[in-house]
Homo-oligomer: A and B are copies of this chain.
Amino acid sequence: MFEFDLVARSGHARAGVFHTPHGDLLTPVFAPVGTQGTVKALTPAQLTDLGASLVLANTYHLYLRPGDTLVKELGGLHEFMQWHGPILTDSGGFQVFSLSDTRKIDDDGVTFKSHLDGAIHRFTPEKTVEIQNNLGADIIMAFDECPPPLERKYVERSLIRTHAWAERCRTFHQRSEQALFGIVQGGIFPDLREQSARFLMGLDFPGYAIGGLAVGETKEQMHATIECANAVLPGTKPRYLMGVGSPEDLVNGVMRGVDIFDCVLPTRLARNAAAMTRRGRLNMKNAQYARDHGPVEEGCACYCCSNFTRAYVRHLSVAEEILAAVLLTIHNVHLLLTLMREMRAAIIEGTFDSYAQLFLQNYRPVEQKT
């Protein structure tokens, strides 16, 4: 279990198979986010139709509501949400550190106030592993601190804590049917990232995440940091870039050796009436789409684009109908999953370089007017 078979390489890009108790993940893979035990606006049947293989759920949210012991009592997260493919849970670290005014960190853990009712809770490395054991995901994450990536002094101090916590998680976690991944931190500093990767490799995790990115650094700094971490991490284990998922970030990540991604972007943008396309984002509420007979994205094979016009999706978006969120979520998730499949095929065929180059040439990271 949890072997990672490398199928092909193309430069630093890798195509692989990661074996989990709920099925094989063909990498590179993108995980839609199901924060509260549902990928927002989609049924599991729709997720399956989209070809999703991995889903992420958030430990912080599920711990608070409905509670990890309740999920366990109901047969675990797979059974609870009726997603029978692999699931990944984060450690809750990112969420509790984001509660900047209502949490207090010490070397043993973090005390924080629930965003739901203000009640006081405490996460320690052991506690978050226990919660993740109860939830029962296939891949679970070590508890880490996410420091401001540009503040060297803070990052240095924080790294000591993150490494101690990684060790405690490694010791506490005893389930063979769950893979515990370590998280490389170190901000944008190459020497700290290398130090972090080497420390975690000493604990021999079945996979490694790159954490603390997409939170304030430039794209160049993000790319350099991914390169630096992946240059050190073992080629025989999957590498997971946390919380990153714009189309250009996926291509740039795969190009630098990342195997697993997750991000709320496709689902969150959809609920805000934004369509992701290969040429950039479209605001579907724009008046220019009112009489547009074309699909949201020309050439797209998703349920939304195969059936509905931009005019209809615009109408639903302006009228704030639930179906607008549903159709745009289907489209956005379909786009990212299709990109991942295309990249995997290109790596195997040895054409990844030209695929990535062409994609990035056509892509406009800012919103398009036409």
Contacts and interface: CB of A to CB of B under 8 A. Distances in A.
Interface string A78-103: 00111000000000000000000000
Interface residues of A, number: 37
B74 A37 contact: no
A327 interface: yes
A329 to B, nearest CB: 9
Contact of A41 (B42, B309, B322): B322
Nearest to A38: B323
Interface in A294-325: 303, 307-309, 311-312, 314-316, 318-319, 321-323, 325
A326 B43 contact: yes
Q: Which 10 residue pairs of A and B lie closest in terms of their CB atoms, listed nearest first? A: A38-B323, A66-B315, A41-B322, A36-B319, A82-B307, A38-B321, A74-B311, A80-B312, A40-B322, A322-B322
Given A43-B303, A43-B323, A65-B318, 16 more contacts: A36-B315, A36-B321, A37-B316, A38-B316, A38-B323, A40-B322, A41-B322, A41-B326, A42-B323, A65-B319, A66-B290, A66-B318, A70-B291, A70-B311, A80-B312, A82-B312
18 contacts: A36-B316, A36-B319, A38-B321, A40-B321, A41-B323, A41-B326, A44-B307, A65-B315, A66-B290, A73-B291, A74-B309, A74-B311, A80-B309, A80-B311, A80-B312, A80-B315, A82-B312, A322-B325
